[in-house]
Structure 1
């Protein structure tokens, strides 16, 4: 939950909004995303171990988690192959990177809600996670409006 659904959006927001003020913020998103990826990978491994130990069937949740992990790996690979800003293909790389990143964040949030449901954690967990997502969305909206007003 923390890695894929909270830290990944924060890392994306750092990359999108903070680079305009200080380049060091832009590069710090790599650290946040790396930490999020490691936490997310740990979560996937723990989930696979728990599934075997508890002898439960969570096929949809597991499949979605693996898809999210693959998308995360593709993002890491994409960073290694990022073309220079002057390159003609940089525009397409940006489309790919932004698209896969947004899909990853959306699917992670969906999978967290589904995991809360499967775990029978109750409406308190759903509400808490929803509040966290709304707070992140409002912050992103404010920062996006700030960019639009500057132009």
Structure 2
């Protein structure tokens, strides 16, 4: 989208630009700060305590949820300010992220409250692995989505009258590096986690006649 105006950061943001900026800020906080925080809570705490689930759920649903839905609503409002007719990759991926996030919440609730006896190699129910894989997919897709918004969507829909500040680009990169580095380090605790889960299952199978662990968390 071309613009007759010069690229001038000194000009005040137009109302539509402010709405798009607010959408970008709120959605980024939800998907690049809060959700990763909830993921890291689960990755690290579950290695040391059985009480990891509620902190993980509180951050990923009670705290992240309102922020993510607010970001989604602001995105819809921003899109309407710019005509609301263009369906590009950013908008399609944004819709996909919201759907995946809602599915992920339901899977998490199902895992916690519905215990099934089916186990796959590793000793855990299949839905547990689905929950973990889908979480990684959401975070990876969100990382791409924010990058697309900064480098592609904003210049296209605004005409780049007010280019995105370099500080925002650096913040995106820093958040991505920090999260994936910490998550990668957390994977080093998997052997300890699986050993603890195996020990707890053995205790429960001895105490439960049908051999089904009743207290197994997500």
Per the shorter chain, which TM-score range?
A: 0.7 to 0.9
> Counterpart in 2 of 1:105?
139
CA shift for structure 1 position 142: 2.7
| Cα contact 1:3–1:39 (8 A) shared by 2 | yes
Contact 1:8–1:36, Cα closer than 8 Å, also in 2: yes
SS at match of 1:81: helix
The equivalent residue for 1:63 is: 92
CA distance in 2, matches of 1:68, 1:149: 31
Is 1:11–1:29's contact at 8 Å kept on the other side of the alignment? Answer: yes
Q: Quote the Cα distance in structure 2 between the aligned partners of 1:24 and 1:18.
A: 8
| Structure 1 gap ranges (5+) | none
- Structure richer in helix, relative to its length: 1
Task: Name structure 2 gaps, 5 residues minimum.
Answer: 1-27, 155-162, 196-218
Tell me how large the CA RMSD over aligned residues is: 2.2
- 8 Å Cα contact 2:43-2:183 kept in structure 1: no
Q: TM-score, normalised by structure 1?
A: 0.85
Change (3 A) 1:92 1:21: same
**Deviation string for 1:30-82 (max 9, x for gaps)?**
01101222211111110011110232646221111110000001011112322
Q: Name the residue aligned to 1:72.
A: 101
TM-score (norm 2): 0.61
Higher RCO, 1 vs 2 (CA within 8 Å, ≥6 residues apart): 2
- Structure with larger Rg: 2
